[in-house]
Structure 1
Amino acid sequence: MNIFIALVLILFPLVTIILKRRKLPPQQRIPPGSLGLPLIGQSLGLLQAMRANTAEKWLEDRVKKYGPISKLSLFGKPTVFVYGQDANKLVFASSNSNTMTNHQTQSVRMILGDRCLLELNGEDHKRVRGALASFLKPESLKMYVGKIEEEVQTHIQMYWQGKQQVTVLPLMKNLTFNIICSLLFGIESRERRNEYVQQFQEMIQGMWSIPVNLPFTRFNRSLKASAKVQKLLKDLLQEKRQELLKGAPSNQDLISCLLSIHGEESQDSVSEDEIIHNVMLIMAAGHDTSSVLITFILRVLANNPTVYEAVLKGELKFRMAPHDFFTCSVLILLPNNRTR
């Protein structure tokens, strides 16, 4: 009898919860899945899959287990995973800001700031996106191509010329960051660039980490590096502001371009925090993506001599954006250097 009473006491609450859930209208039902451990959730599993380059399989296994919609916890936040064409349409074609808004993981938001494009919505998103787009005017792109070419030539002489073997990815990251310093910041000094790159690399390492701000954690180190990067950018903003007052062109770099808009008394102006946070976003978004892409291009060309020869002779036609011009420039290194 005691066992029977104990089972009733345990099962009754569970049955009550199940019945209540069945009575909920469809819009209030919770997707299948588990939130896992507090704070950690499924973060470690996803990060491990990303490092092993098996993230796609990790997601496919989740779809097979729970279906196209499921709940999980990533980087300390409850998350809904959706899959399929209808989900893509909902996310990318939703015009109602009340239905879908931008929110990044807590780690990304705390490191990059809450006034970057990843966090803005509605009119704020449109205003800042328009300000960033003004940096890419056709007349400005012509000047940027020349700067990129200078960076590529310097890079070739310093790291590739005369070398029998090179490791491409670290060199491409070096090249990409130097181009970022030139186009975004207008910084030509190698010493100042080295100061930025040390803090920047520390900063991006913790962007996809569990947001536990304890000493000696990767997230804690990234937060400290983010604060230092923001301090460096604030100092740089003051320098660029003085240069603009002395008559420097507003299209010489991204910060100067945004500062010229910041100085305008209109609804399209951008704040200082928006300038800093979005410059940090572009640094993070453009660094690894560009360097990895160029590395894969070089790898494909090195393993396909016929395609390489066609590219070298200009017989293989392809379309390329102006800011990708430096990709072509590094291709001339292949005949005299081994890559790995």
Structure 2
Amino acid sequence: MGWEGKDEVTVFPLMQRYTFWLAARLFLSVEDPSYVAWLADPFQLLASGIISIPINLPWTPFNRAIEASNLIRKESRAIIKQRKVDLIEGKASPTQDILSHMLLAMDEDGKHMTELDIADKILGLLIGGRDTASAACTFVVKYLAELPAIFEQVYKEQMEIAKSKAPGELLNWDDIQNMKYSWNVACEVLMLAPPLQAAFKEVINNIMFNGFFIPNG
């Protein structure tokens, strides 16, 4: 991840790179690191343009975002076309990833989604997997660095699970379920530092937080 041999790291860019790579692998089964790194650049332009002033001139972030989204759709459709061939030839599994599921899913009329619809949905998933997840992971690292006692408990839990695995054995769902303390820490971080800072929330019950009274409603 680029952390090795460094006394100090800037976490957020590294987390963006990691979560985008993970999303590309889970959604599209793309594992080539050089291709994922290349694809991350237009996604950065797209993410910047989403919150920009919608002026479509060549020098504006909005225009660059449109061009980036067109490039991403083009690349996505190429991946989609190849996956169709792989599914027909048995080189890909129907349950391999979200892309395979979308290609095989049908609506109530028995119709499949178009390639453009799938490309748009994949684009949305990759954007979501890149920004909010990376922000959440960054804040987890921040709070663990600031709270060494909490870090030690998380580390202890993770090492216990790691030691229970055979060499080369991957994590499974039961292992994830056993990360109860780590999950509680992640939930607390999400409460203290929501990835979407501008999202509005409604207080269900009256609460006290950091000495402040917050009424419901």
**Cα gap change, 1:165/1:232 in structure 2, threshold over 3 Å: closer, same or farther?**
same
**Can you give the 5+ residue segments of structure 1 that lack an aligned partner in the other structure?**
1-154, 325-340
Structure 2 residue corresponding to 1:318, chosen from 178, 181, 187: 181
Q: Which residue of 2 aligns with 1:200?
A: 43
Equivalent position amino acid for 2:121 in 1: N
> Is the CA contact (8 Å cut-off) linking 2:83 and 2:100 kept in structure 1?
yes
Please name the residue that 1:305 is paired with: 148
* Residue 228 (structure 1) shift: 0.7
What is the TM-score of this pair, normalised by structure 2? Answer: 0.69
Residue aligning to 2:103: 259
Q: Distance in 2 between matches of 1:189 and 1:306?
A: 38
Q: CA deviation at 1:282?
A: 1.0
Counterparts in 2 of 1:50-89, with a 5 A limit?
Answer: none
Shift of 1:203: 1.3
1:270 to partner: Cα distance: 2.5
Give the partner amino acid of 1:256. S
Amino acid at match of 1:296: F
Separation in 2, partners of 1:235, 1:203: 19
Shift of 1:219: 0.6
Q: Distance in 2 between matches of 1:257 and 1:301?
A: 37
CA distance in 2, matches of 1:183, 1:276: 15
Q: Distance in 2 between matches of 1:266 and 1:245?
A: 22
Q: Give the counterpart letter for 2:45 in structure 1.
A: E
Counterpart residue identity of residue 164, structure 1: D
**1:168 aligns to 2:11 (yes or no):** yes
Distance in 2 between residues matched to 1:319 and 1:166, nearest whole Å: 22
Structure 1 CA distance for aligned equivalents of residues 131 and 53 of structure 2: 21
- 1-side partners of 2:84 and 2:183: how far apart? 33
Q: Call closer, same or farther: CA 1:270–1:279 in 2, change over 3 Å.
A: same
TM-aligned CA deviation for residue 296 of structure 1: 0.6
User: 1:232 & 1:245 partners in 2: Cα distance?
Assistant: 20
How many Å separate the matches in 2 of 1:245 and 1:304? 52
What amino acid is aligned across from residue 69 of structure 2 in structure 1? Answer: S
Give the superposition deviation at 1:274: 2.0
Residues 1:296 and 2:139 are matched in the alignment: yes
Aligned to 2:113: 270
Aligned residue pairs total 164
Q: Which residue of 1 aligns with 2:69?
A: 226
- Give the match's secondary structure for 1:205: helix
| 1:71-126 Cα distance to aligned partner (Å, 9 max, x none) | xxxxxxxxxxxxxxxxxxxxxxxxxxxxxxxxxxxxxxxxxxxxxxxxxxxxxxxx
Q: Does residue 185 of the first structure (1) align with residue 48 of the second (2)?
A: no
Aligned twin of 1:35: none
1:3-22 matches, within 5 Å, as none
**Structure 2: runs of 5 or more not aligned:** 159-178, 187-217
Name which of 238, 246, 255 aligns with 2:81. 238
Q: Which letter does structure 1 place at the counterpart of 2:71?
A: K
Deviations 1:115-141 (A, max 9, x none): xxxxxxxxxxxxxxxxxxxxxxxxxxx
Task: Indicate whether 1:287 and 2:130 are aligned.
Answer: yes
Following TM superposition, by how much is the alpha carbon of 1:265 offset from its aligned partner in structure 2, in angstroms? Answer: 8.8
Percentage of pairs with the same residue: 32
Q: Please report how far the alpha carbon of residue 318 of structure 1 lies from its aligned counterpart in structure 2 after TM superposition.
A: 3.4
| 1:251–1:303 CA distance, 2 compared to 1 (3 A) | same
Aligned partners of 2:47, 2:180: CA distance in 1, in Å?
A: 36
Deviation for aligned residue 1:268: 6.5
Q: 3-state DSSP class of the match of 1:164?
A: coil
2: distance between equivalents of 1:317 and 1:234?
40
